[in-house]
């Protein structure tokens, strides 16, 4: 009887540990998604000061037209008005995959705006790679492909 109680106790402790760790991953996934939505908001507001703090120094930002930008180039494009984002809305739930100190998000995004004076209205499939540094999620890489 003592072995059964001990065994059941171990099972319950293991289940509790799994439950706690899965809720921590869920909370961290929510943090990543919240960070991503804030970044979209800063891009639409052309708030390059706030946006800068969300981007890794070694950022590689690849637009759906193939244009690649560094952090400095991306901030300049957003701040100068070369590109104006009017809407950035996820089409369906965004997926998050967590790993050690990083996260990978991917999904579809409806984007409306103006680039070099020309309006655009597209749907993108994107993937983004984030790294947690000093308690903050920083965008390391953005890659998007036009699907509509």
* pLDDT tens digits, 11-55: 545 544 544 443 334 444 688 999 999 999 999 999 999 999 999
Distances (CA, A) of 146 to 41, 73, 77, 102: 20, 21, 19, 25
2-146 CATH fold: Nuclear Transport Factor 2; Chain: A, (3.10.450)
Distances (CA, A) of 80 to 5, 21, 67, 71, 73: 68, 44, 17, 14, 10
| Domain ranges across the chain | 2-146
Q: pLDDT digit string (tens) for 94-134?
A: 999 998 889 999 999 999 999 989 999 999 999 999 999 98
- The DSSP letter of residue 47 is -
Residue 9 burial by Cβ neighbours in a 10 Å radius (0-12, 13-18, 19+) = exposed
**Under 8 Å between Cβ of 144 and 64:** yes
Instruction: Tell me if residue 129 falls in helix, strand or coil.
Output: strand
């Amino acid at each position: 009887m003592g072995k059964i109680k001990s065994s059941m106790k171990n099972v319950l402790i293991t289940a509790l540990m799994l439950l706690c760790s899965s809720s921590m991953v869920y909370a961290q996934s929510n943090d990543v998604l919240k960070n991503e939505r804030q970044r979209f908001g800063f891009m639409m507001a052309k708030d390059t000061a706030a946006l800068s703090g969300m981007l890794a120094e070694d950022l590689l930002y690849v637009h759906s037209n193939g244009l690649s930008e560094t952090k400095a180039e991306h901030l300049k494009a957003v701040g100068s008005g070369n590109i104006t984002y009017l809407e950035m809305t996820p089409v369906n739930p965004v997926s998050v995959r967590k790993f050690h100190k990083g996260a990978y998000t991917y999904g579809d995004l409806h984007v409306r705006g103006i680039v070099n004076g020309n309006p655009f209205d597209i749907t993108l499939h994107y993937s983004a790679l984030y790294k947690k540094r000093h308690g903050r999620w920083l965008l390391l890489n953005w890659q998007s492909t036009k699907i509509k």
